[in-house]
Amino acid sequence: MTTTAIDLFASALHFRPDGEVRAAERRMASSDSDAWQIATFHVETDADVHADHWEMHPQAEEAVCCLTGGVRLYLRPETPGEAEDMVRLQAGTAVIVPRGRWHRLQLDAPSDLMSITLREGTRLEKRNDSR
């Protein structure tokens, strides 16, 4: 095996249950792979983080890490009519989104983010309350 540097802003790392780690295409939508994905990306606008959509991972929790900049992570209320929960992430902080919990991001500033999750079954749902 040849050991080479991997550009984390161009590829994702996929960690397979058998211990294999591969650089692969970043997938932000559902995957049929049983690999955990670490994806790092630079975002400039709310459109870059699909702020107009809710996202949910039914198979695993997700670690959302803010490496630079700042973002707000919103959790959709579990009971209709309740307020969204919000966690503000600054550079060097992370939040763990519970398995099966709908969430979305909005930027406070251009940011470098890292997402770690099992993407199998990931769902996106257009917000009907877009601001």
Distance CA(131)–CA(97), nearest Å, equals 23
Closest CA to 39 of 15, 71, 61: 15
pLDDT at 128 over 90: no
Pick 76 or 26 by higher pLDDT: 76
Mean per-residue pLDDT over the chain, rounded: 92
Say what the pTM is: 0.90
Local structure of residue 31 (DSSP, 8 states): B
- Locate 11 and state its tokens: 């590829």
Q: Which CATH class is domain 12-126?
A: mainly beta
Lowest pLDDT segment from 1-10, 35-44, 101-110, 113-122: 1-10
**Domains in the chain: boundaries:** 12-126
Closest CA to 72 of 41, 56, 99, 93: 93
Mean pLDDT value across residues 112-118 = 96
Token look-up 């702020």 returns: 51
* pLDDT 10s digits, 48-80: 998 999 999 999 999 999 999 999 999 999 888
Beta strands in 16-127 (DSSP E): 21-24, 36-43, 53-56, 62-75, 85-90, 93-97, 103-118, 123-126
Closest CA to 76 of 43, 93, 108, 98: 98
- pLDDT at residue 131, rounded to an integer: 44
Write the CB contacts of 22 (distance below 8 Å, at least 6 apart in sequence).
13, 14, 16, 35
* pLDDT 10s digits, 77-97: 988 889 999 999 999 999 999
